[in-house]
Structure 1
């Protein structure tokens, strides 16, 4: 039976107390929650091999396409936070992946959405550093998905 980790990864963890894999995962959430595009760029593999499929951007390939999704999110007037929990970590050779859930809040124009996203992230070892090479996120609730997409694109959440 697989152990599921319930302690959330928020990006506020002390990386010196984490395994290199969890430090890379934590760095992603630190970049996301602080809107740090440079840190986000360091977290992702700078290659055409990188791919992301998420509720905001559809399928993006390569960092140049992926970063446009983060630029749009980081530039939005919204307030948000996300954390990763209820996950399992799997490692083999120069790859590890995590399968779990994200939760958080997304607030724009005074309306707050309680976020619930199924999430998988894959990291590869590149030049001695763990770099994210793939992300897939799905919002199960179609109403929440529509409201989230509208909010990030500048609409309202109602």
Structure 2
């Protein structure tokens, strides 16, 4: 019996390592990162990458940290066009991305950090909460909802 152990160990080592299969969570994390790359491109005047990461269906929506509300791809796209006009410089990045996926729907939550320059003003730093909801469309995770806000660190009014 003991004589079998070395050949089995050699056989096990000889097996090729198979790459880890991509999970929906990994794909949504990647789609989240691509959204922020596209967002940064929009801030510098190139809105084309947003067309790649967003769904173009009429049920998409965007609730921006500036208080805007957009429903449908045309309004969402126009909202980003206006943001690029109002904030012609800056950078935004996701931090601490948490992901959940279930079937053809998934979401990521993260902190958006960065800085934006008003059209005629100083660079303003920000740190805000964000939720990004994705839907699997033709094998790709497409953004269908983005919501960002500054949140509140106050505990006033909290009940248990």
Provide TM-score, normalisation by structure 2.
0.70
> Larger Cα Rg: Structure 1 or Structure 2?
2
Q: Which residue of 1 aligns with 2:131?
A: 120
Q: Alpha-carbon deviations, 1:66-91, whole Å to 9, x = none?
A: 11111112234631100111231111
Q: 5+ unaligned residues in a row in structure 2: which ranges?
A: 1-24, 153-160
* CA distance, structure 1, for counterparts of residue 57 and residue 83 of structure 2: 22
Aligned to 2:33: 26
- Which structure 1 residue ranges, 4+ long, deviate > 3 Å from structure 2? none
Structure 1: stretches of 5+ with no match in the other structure: 1-17, 142-158
1:79 to 65, 89, 93: 89
Q: 2:68 aligns with which of 40, 51, 58?
A: 58
What's the counterpart of residue 97 of structure 1?
A: 107
Q: Is the 8 A contact 2:109 2:130 kept in 1?
A: yes
> What residue is the counterpart of 1:133 in the other structure?
144
Q: Calculate the aligned-residue CA RMSD, in Å.
A: 1.9
Kindly tell me the number of residue pairs found equivalent between the two proteins: 124
d(CA) in 2 for partners of 1:64, 1:52: 11
